[in-house]
Copies of this chain bind each other. A is one copy, B any other.
Amino acid sequence: MPYKLYYWDGIPGRGEFVRLALEEAGADYVDVARDPDGQEGGTTAMLKLLMDGEGANIPFAPPFLKDGDLLIPHVANILFYLGPKIGLAPEEEGLRFVANGLQLTITDFVAEIHDTHHPIGVSLYYEDQKPEALRRSSDFLSERLPKFLGYFERVLRQNPKGQNPKAQNPKGRGHIVGDRLSYVDLSLFQLVEGLRYAFPKAMRSYEASIPGLIALHDAVAERPNIRSYLASDRRLSFNEAGIFRHYPELDQPS
C-alpha cells in the first residue's frame, strides 16, 4: 500500500522536505492533494481528516503522512518514521536521534524563515505587517541566518564519519550525519534552494562562508532520482504563498 502524503497543493512548503525523501528513495506514495485522478479525494479529503470530530490522533496541521491506519504529523516526525524504512536514516540507533536533532534544528530555522514575512501573525497578510517584516528580516539576515548556516557547516565539517573515503561521493563531499546519505542531507539541499530563492543577495554574499553545505547541496542535486524529480512537474516552484518568499525589499547582503 502506498504512503499517502497530505499537504497543501500549490506550494513546496514543509511538504517538500518529505517529498524529497520519498523521491530519493523511489518510494511508492500518493501526494493526496495533488492526486491527478482525484481518487484520494484531494484537499477536501485532507481537510476532512483535520476537522474530524470523532477520530483519534488527529493532526494539528499538514503535512501528515498516512501509513495504513497510522496518521503521522510534523515533518521531522514523518522523516524519523520513514527514514529507516526507506534507507535514509543512519544504521546506528543513537545516530538516528542525532539525525532527528538536526532535523528539528532545520524545523526551527524554517519557522524563523517563515516569520521574516509574517512576524506578527499567520492570520494576517504580509501587506499588513510590512514594517515589522522589514525589521525582522534585517535581524534574521544579520544574526540568525549566519548562526544557523554556520552551525550546519560546522557539524558537516566535524562529522567524523562524513569524511570516510568509502562513503564519499565521487566529488569527495560528505554527509551531515553518519557515513551515508540521510534525509537530513536532503533537507539541507532544500534549505539552500529556498534561501537562494527568498534572499538571493544575502546568499550571494554569504555562500563563500559555507563551502561544505554548498557542496552537499550540489551533490544532492546530481543524484539521479533527485535530478529526475526536479525536472518533473511533481516539483513545485517557490512562490509568494509558501514559506520561502521572495520580497526584494526584505533582501540585503548578509
- Could you list which residues of chain A lie within 8 angstroms of chain B, going by C-beta atoms? 53-60, 64, 69-74, 76-77, 80-81, 94-95, 97-98, 100-101, 104-105, 107-108, 111, 115, 119-124, 132, 135-136, 139-140, 143-144, 148, 151, 154-155, 158-161, 177
Residue among A57, A107, A108, A115 facing the most chain B CB atoms (10 A cut-off): A57
Copies of this chain held together in the complex? 2
Q: Which chain B residue has the least Cβ–Cβ distance from A140?
A: B121
Interface CB pairs A-B, < 8 A, 19: A54-B158, A56-B159, A59-B101, A70-B97, A70-B98, A72-B98, A74-B101, A74-B104, A74-B105, A104-B107, A115-B115, A115-B119, A120-B135, A120-B136, A121-B136, A121-B139, A121-B144, A123-B143, A132-B132
Residues in B with CB closer than 8 Å to A54 are 158
Residues in B with CB closer than 8 Å to A105 are 60, 73-74
Residues in B with CB closer than 8 Å to A151 are 60
Q: Are B160 and A143 in contact (CB under 8 A)?
A: no
Known A56-B160, A77-B97, A121-B139; 20 more pairs at CB < 8 Å? A55-B158, A57-B98, A57-B101, A57-B159, A58-B154, A58-B155, A59-B101, A60-B105, A71-B98, A73-B101, A74-B104, A76-B104, A77-B101, A77-B104, A80-B97, A108-B111, A119-B120, A120-B132, A120-B136, A123-B139
Q: Which chain B residue has the least Cβ–Cβ distance from A101?
A: B73
Residues in B with CB closer than 8 Å to A159 are 56-57
Interface of A is mostly: helix
Q: Which chain B residue has the least Cβ–Cβ distance from A152?
A: B60
- Distance in Å: Cβ of A180 to nearest Cβ of chain B: 15
Q: How far is A132 from B213 in the complex, measured between Cα atoms in Å?
A: 34
Q: Are A158 and B58 in contact (CB under 8 A)?
A: yes
Q: How far is A138 from B101 in the complex, measured between Cα atoms in Å?
A: 32
- Distance in Å: Cβ of A196 to nearest Cβ of chain B: 22
Residues in B with CB closer than 8 Å to A81 are 97
Q: How far is A152 from B187 in the complex, measured between Cα atoms in Å?
A: 29
Known A60-B105, A111-B108, A160-B56; judge A119-B132 contact (CB<8 A): yes
Q: How far is A73 from B177 in the complex, measured between Cα atoms in Å?
A: 14
Q: How far is A80 from B177 in the complex, measured between Cα atoms in Å?
A: 19
